[in-house]
Amino acid sequence: MSRKPVDTGEPHRLYTVTGGRSRAEGVSLDLVTLIVSESRPLEGMQSEHVRILDLCRTPTAVVEIAAELQLPITVVKILLSDLLATGRVTARHPRGAAARNDAPDSALLKEVLLGLQNL
């Protein structure tokens, strides 16, 4: 079985889209971080930025944006960092399970597992 390469975009195009950058500086985005547009696209904006702003009228995960744009995650993170720096989008980071006080008790989870196994 032969595997397709993950990055199917043309390297020259990706280099142009990101302005030659290889990582998003100063921004930490998870795949499930929700992105929300805070403004409408402006005339003369990069087409990928316009598409992101249109997609994110409702909260949209970083991974969904990458899938819709058909771009690698790293490229999308760079584009999102541009929009975050200008205040055109906001990021809603998921809460970690360790930080939540409402995490289910392990005894309850064991009972649920036993119940599911008995079905």
DSSP letters of 4-43? Answer: PPS--S-HHHHHHHHTT--S-TT----TT-EEEE-SPPPT
Provide the percentage of residues in the chain whose pLDDT is more than 90. Answer: 38
Task: Give the model's confidence band at 99: pLDDT under 50 very low, under 70 low, under 90 confident, else very high.
Answer: low
Least confident span in 5-9, 49-53, 75-79, 92-96: 5-9
Quick one: average pLDDT of 90-113?
75
CA distances from 53 to 6, 60, 66 (A): 25, 10, 13
Question: pLDDT at residue 14 above 80?
Answer: no
- Flag whether the pTM goes above 0.75: no
In the numeric block, the tokens 């064991």 are attached to 110
Residue 30's closest CA among 71, 68, 70, 76?
A: 76
